[in-house]
Every structure is written in structure tokens, then in C-alpha cells.
Structure 1
Amino acid sequence: MDIGSTELGERDGLPDALSVLLKEYPRDIWETSPGFNGLIRFWLDRHMMFRRLLGMLTTETEKRLDQNTDPMVFKERVSRFGSLLVGELHGHHNIEDAHYFPVLAKKDPRITRGFDILDRDHHALDGILNRYVETANAVINANAESTREIGMFLQETRGLELLLSRHLIDEEELVVPIILKHGAGGLS
């Protein structure tokens, strides 16, 4: 996939040149690899939490549009789960940008550019998350019977889900193989 954009929302994966370690450590062997440790498991669990929260928010919003959820219960869930998602994503990205990515980038110069791409993703996601918060707040503050804001929130949630999925897959396919090959030294 060496041809094409590396911008989030425009790519369908990382360029082939950045997948050299993924070829050596494909997903299907990660958990059985000797280097698969608590750090990798914890990190992948965080990613799964983000996916689950977005899935839950999508389901709750669809249920509300179908009028299968009480409006106040829906607003409370959007507030609680949306806040958790956004707060945890910001914290996760800050740790990666400030600590993990600089350490990992030094472990294998062939894939350093990949960490630049992931860092750009984080900056792009900041703006998307700001818009997401605005849309969530509009739902929370809207008239209980208004479907316009709920529809907009569903659209934002699905859009975030797509972009975040692309980012998380690319991040996993860059980070896990480098830790499996070179170890987690310097990350704790």
C-alpha cells in the first residue's frame, strides 16, 4: 500500500514499508509469542475498551432513535460513557505521544515514520473529539423529544468509530510487532 495518503480518514492501512515487522510478527501469532507480556495485553485491552465504549454509544443512540430507551437514561449514558471515552482517549494518546512513541521509534529506524503518522492521527483525533463532545452536549441539552440532535450524535459516533478503528488497527500493527521483536525495555 505504498501509494496513497497516510492521513487518517484517507488511508486503508499503513504503507508497506512500515509493515516489515508485521510480516515477521503477524496478528495470529501475537498471543503465543514469547514477548507477549502484560504491557501488550494491557495496551490491547485499552484499545478494546475504546471499541466497546463506541459500540455501546452507537447501540444506545440507535435505541433512543427507535424510542426504546427513556430520554433521561439515554442522556445519562451519553454523558457517562462519552466522558469516559473522550477522557481515556486523551490520556492514552498523551502517554503514547510523550513516552511510548519516542521510545519505540528508537528501537527500529525502519518504522520511525509510522510513529509520525500515529502522532498526526492523535492531533486529527483531538479536533474530531472536540466536535464529538459538542455534539454529545447538544444531545444532553436538547429537548427530550428532539431527534435532530440524536441523529447528528449517531452520525458523529459512527464517524469516530470508523476513524478510531483505522487508527487503532494501524497502531497495534506497528507497536505490538516492535515490542515482540525488541522487547518493552524503556516503556515502564
Structure 2
Amino acid sequence: MTHDIALHHIDDALLVAEKPAGLLSVPGRLPENQDCLVSRLQAVHPDVLTVHRLDQVTSGLMLYARGRTVQAALSAQFEQRRVGKRYEAVVEGMVEDDAGEIALPLICDWPNRPKQKVDHEHGKPALTRWRVLARDAAAGRTRVELDPITGRSHQLRLHMASLGHPIAGDVLYGAAPAARVHLHACRLAFVHPATGAAMMFASSCPF
């Protein structure tokens, strides 16, 4: 079951894996949603534990702990925003500015879950920085680099849609259907909890 999962790094404390688009990060509630990245990894490495998640539609780098102590240490880095995360996306339309940031508070759109919505009264603060990488006038799309300063559910997807530029393929947030949602976790940087070494991993964008 792990033959299609690329490992970027593995040692006694942690591993970095690449999640394919369409695969859950963790098991879902329903029996048919039990196949996921962490269960595939645990089939080979039983001590692997979840630290963070990617949406099912998103591909890219994920960090896993091996054991509870490392899980707590890595989770603290995420909570303290000391983990560097960068994504690459293709969005619909031609983004006019070259860079910017989006600060819109988000909350679950409960009747339409898992969809999220902007809520200035009850939402949790969310901040995304973005930068244009390329514009494709013929396709009517823009390639962007995204830095989520906070880590809210669906943050990048909803923030880009709020600009009027939903991520290509993201029908949940108003985009036209495509083969996949064009969102990829391309960079992950953190401090190794056992050695104190700065770790950085990169994954080339598959679209």
C-alpha cells in the first residue's frame, strides 16, 4: 500500500512523506474513508503519528512524528508558527497585483461543512501572503506562491476565492471542474526536535 508514497526523509524521530492528491491525510468517519496516508505509513512504520493535515484535494509534503514525544515537540512548532510552509497553486483569472496578503477571519460553514466561510464577527483570524509566479493569458490562469501565516482549515482555498480567483479545479469554492485542485505543498521547513538541526524539504509542483 505504500508503493505510491514517496518518502523525502526518514530517521528515528520523524519522516517526511509526499501525499498524492485525492488521498485523505487521516481516516474519515465512514468505513469507505479509512484508506489514508497515515494508515499506509503505519503499515510499514507502526510508530508514525500525525502532526498536521493537508486537505484531501491537496498534494505535497507532510511531516510525521515517530512516537508521542516527537509528536508533541513538532505539534508545538506548528502551534507557535515556527514551521515554514509554502504552497504553489494555479488560480482562475489574471491576478492584477504581483503580491499581497489576505487577512480574513474564517469559520466552518456548518450547514455546508466541510466548507468554510468568512465571518468577521465569529471567525478565527487567518492570514495568507501570496506572490504571482507567472500569468497564462491564453488559459486565463495565474500561478501563485502562497505562504499561510496561520493554518486554518481551507484557508488558502477560501482566501484565494475571496479575491475572485479560486484555485483551479476547486468547485467547492466556485472554480470550474478540472482533473484536480491545483494546490501543492511545495516547501516545508522546521527544526529537528532531536538534533536541533534546521530541516528544509522541497517538492516540485506536479501541475
| TM tier relative to shorter chain | under 0.3
Bigger strand fraction: 2
More helix by share: 1
Greater radius of gyration (CA):
1
Higher relative contact order (CA 8 A, sep 6+): 1
TM-score with structure 1 length normalisation?
0.27
Q: What TM-score, normalized by structure 2, do the two folds share? A: 0.25
